[in-house]
Amino acid sequence: MGGSDSDPDGLHAQAVADLIPIVRRVVGGRVGGHPAAEDLVQETLTRVLAASATIEPGMLEPYAIVTARNVVASMWRDEDRKRRNQHRAVDLTEPESPEARIVLDEEQGAMAQALGRLTDRERQTLLAHEVAGTDTRTLAQESGSTAGAVAAQLNRTRARLRVEYLLAARQVEPPTDRCRPVLIALSSADQRRQREVGAAQHLLECEVCAELSQPLLERGQPRDDTLRIPIAADPDIVAARTAARRLASSLSFGPTDLTVIATAVSEVCRNIVRFAGSGEVVVELLDTPRRGLQVVARDAGPGIGDVDAAMTDGFSTYGGLGLGLPGVRRLMDEFAVVSEPGHGTTVTMTKWERNDHG
């Protein structure tokens, strides 16, 4: 693999880029020539890259295969749901307060159930630290331990709690004795433990753990208000898509909007790589006072000779499965293209939080 030990992000991106042929084979084998095939590939790569820092290197390929299967399955489920609900006059994507109350009650019930699965010592220490605010030094003095040992115990407890919450929320029981150790190793991002429990092979063999592994591995990615991502090759497309989705998730966007944003970013980045060779994408949170996410994609390439024609459905200068600029415009709330032949192109697009629309 390319990259350097001093550039772990580059190593992760290159490792994920190396998986592109495998992911395309898995997706192609399940959806054939479906128009969304390339987006499914990009979505898979986005999820794998988001989790790559917490996955033992040898696990990337099996994790990518499992992720591709899950992404395709999610698409088929979404399409089936749309078919079944297309006769409804009410948009079911925005639940009213009674339904929201039910969801909240279910989440609280799952958390209570998860806490009940911890040992008394785990539960008492966690609640003392998280709820009462007792620091690790004080907890160590009370238990005759050390602050470092208490901190390590808290990390293990949080990892287990995340697993137990997912199991309770989804109302599933691990089918084998290997499942919980594997899931906890993934939740704690403990690569040594992942190797010890054979997590890579287990994810390929166990559908339950394969599905639960994604939220455990994708959690807790760092965010800033503004991100700049240089774009010059396929790994950069994956990195930009991941960064945009990660930043957008700090707002109240739902899963559908997050996918829409990631897809739009992926498309404009592919245009930079194909037509300009290099450029950059700037992703920024907005609060003006409407809250949203703005993406600005710039390049110094050959530019677009006829912007109006490029914004016409069906216009394409290549034969790929991409959405094209018209498709991206439909995905986003605001969209603008400025281009001068010989001097490059700038695409600016914005997605606003739904609850901020007037």
**pLDDT truncated to tens, each residue of the chain (358 aa)?**
344 444 455 556 677 778 888 889 989 888 888 888 888 888 888 878 777 777 777 788 888 888 888 888 888 777 766 665 554 444 444 444 555 555 566 677 788 888 888 899 888 888 888 767 778 888 888 888 888 888 888 888 988 998 998 898 888 899 999 999 999 998 888 888 888 999 888 988 898 898 888 778 765 444 457 888 899 888 888 888 888 988 888 888 888 888 889 889 998 998 898 888 889 999 998 876 678 999 999 988 888 877 777 777 555 444 444 457 888 888 889 988 888 888 888 889 999 987 544 3
Residue 141 within any structural domain of the chain: yes
**CATH number for 248:** 3.30.565.10
Residue 92 within any structural domain of the chain: no
Domain end marker among 84, 106, 123 = 84
Residues 128 and 174 in one domain: yes
Residues 230 and 349 in one domain: yes
Q: In one letter, which amino acid is 50?
A: A
Residue 304 within any structural domain of the chain: yes
Residues 112 and 179 in one domain: yes
Domain end marker among 159, 188, 218 = 218
Residue 286 within any structural domain of the chain: yes
Overall pTM surpassing 0.85 (yes/no): no
Residues 14 and 46 in one domain: yes
Residue 269 within any structural domain of the chain: yes
Domain count for the chain, please give it.
3
Residues 234 and 338 in one domain: yes
Residues 103 and 74 in one domain: no
Residue 89 within any structural domain of the chain: no
Residue 3 within any structural domain of the chain: no
Residue span of the structural domain in which 58 resides:
8-84
Residues 156 and 58 in one domain: no
Residues 291 and 250 in one domain: yes
**Residue 193 CB neighbours (<10 A):** 17
SS3 string, the chain, reads: CCCECCEHHHHHHHHHHCCHHHHHHHHHHHHCCCCCHHHHHHHHHHHHHHHHHHCCHHHHHHHHHHHHHHHHHHHHHHHHHHHHHCCCCCCCCCCCHHHHHHHHHHHHHHHHHHHHCCCHHHHHHHHHHHCCCCCHHHHHHHHCCCHHHHHHHHHHHHHHHHHHHHHHHCCCCCCCCCHHHHHHHHHCCCHHHHHHCCHHHHHHHCHHHHHHHHHHHHCCCCCCCEEEEEECCHHHHHHHHHHHHHHHCCCCCCHHHHHHHHHHHHHHHHHHHHHHCCEEEEEEEEECCCEEEEEEEEECCCCCCCHHHHCCCCCCCCCCCCCHHHHHHHHCCEEEEEEECCCEEEEEEEEECHHHCC
Residues 127 and 19 in one domain: no
Residues 177 and 251 in one domain: no
Residues 343 and 236 in one domain: yes
Domain end marker among 84, 112, 129 = 84
